[in-house]
Amino acid sequence: MRVVMDPGWIGKIKVEASPAMHRVVDQVAKKVRQNQARHVRTGAMLASVHTVHTLTGGRIYVGTDHWAHVEYGTRPHIIRPKHKKALYWVGARHPVNKVHHPGTRAYAPMRKSLKAIRVF
């Protein structure tokens, strides 16, 4: 008995699986938007979520500078002024030269979405 493999088999599988992978990418992106919508301040992070479909699936991008802080949280840290000599905000008694930030907990909208949309 002789077995002959079609040299283009992997390409055929990619083409056949592509629509299903696109649906999974879209479902995860939708869930990311739903998870983020619960914690919106300005809407910049929510508006920056977009998908790019490829032959083998796709990618989900979150295009803000602070996405990693939301996803992974921050440790306690000191905030110092960048352009002025002091920090001030509405409600503060007086300007200060530094603030001890307690850190933020990780919210992880991307990881929660990936766990929620399990296809296997």
Q: What is the DSSP string of the chain?
A: ------TTHHHHHHHHHHHHHHHHHHHHHHHHHHHHHTT-SSSHHHHTEEEEEETTEEEEEE-STTHHHHHH-B--EEE--SSSSSB--TT-SS-BS-EEE--B----HHHHHHHHS---
Which has more pLDDT, 56 or 119? 56
Rg (CA), the chain: 22
Which has more pLDDT, 119 or 11? 11
Picking from 102, 101, 107, 106, the residue whose alpha carbon sits closest to that of residue 39 is 107
Domain ranges of the chain: 9-116
- Report pLDDT digits (tens) over 11-22: 888 888 888 889
pLDDT of residue 17: 86
120 — pLDDT class (breaks 50, 70, 90): low
pLDDT of residue 100: 96
